[in-house]
Amino acid sequence: MTQRKYQDPPQEPAQPSPSITPEMLERTFEALETRGMIYYSEGGVYIPTAQGWQLLMKTEMITEEIIAYGNPKITATNASMIKLTKGNDVDDATIGVGANKAAANLSEEFKRVIRGNKNCEVKIQVDDGEVVFFSYGSPALKLSDHNHIVINKTDQIDGSTVLIVSDEAASDLDRDFVEKLKNSDSKIKITIEVK
């Protein structure tokens, strides 16, 4: 039997990720080959079949959008999380109130996808300001809270947690940006795109 080879993925900046072993990759390639999605070329690499390419081309980015509003009580000084609330309660992690969704209200497709340790781009827009950072999903996400959405800088998870191991917490946000969040007339758009 021919010894299977596969190329190492391109080197990217170090980011938290699940531990992927060579055995996991080998089992994945074997499963895809069995299903006719890829084949092993004599050149020593796996190549997608026509069916495999169709699947790859159908892959769509999964996006969830949340709308919230500013509040004069917002301080955004919490060093471990960012929070949105459906109500008007404001603490040091809150960046928006009156949100149209909480963790439990996110689409079922989005919930399914972020439970797969996926890397997500988070974009927060208010007025002419924008902040972009990255966070991760987790199989341990409960997504059960009906009042809040939390993005944690740590790996701490409760019912309101939507993303973990975030690049940003409330205290990391630019202070000029935070001033815009304090305007009660400001509409805040948070877009989470699964990569």
Q: What is the pLDDT of residues 36-66, one digit of tens each?
A: 888 878 777 878 888 777 666 655 678 999 9
Residue with tokens 């081309």: 57
Burial class for 165, CB neighbours closer than 10 Å (0-12, 13-18, 19+): buried
Amino acid at 157: I
* pTM for the full predicted model: 0.71
Compute the Cα dihedral for 155, 97, 191, 92 and give only its sign: negative
Show the low-confidence residues of the chain (pLDDT under 50): 1-2, 4-7
Q: What does the pLDDT read at residue 24?
A: 80
Walk across the sheet containing 119-126 and list its strands.
Answer: 62-69, 187-194, 119-126, 129-136
Q: What is the pLDDT of residues 17-33, one digit of tens each?
A: 567 788 887 888 788 88
Tokens of 14: 């170090």
Q: What does the pLDDT read at residue 1?
A: 45
* All structural domains of the chain with their residue ranges: 22-58, 62-194
62-194 falls under which CATH superfamily? mth639 domain like (2.60.120.630)
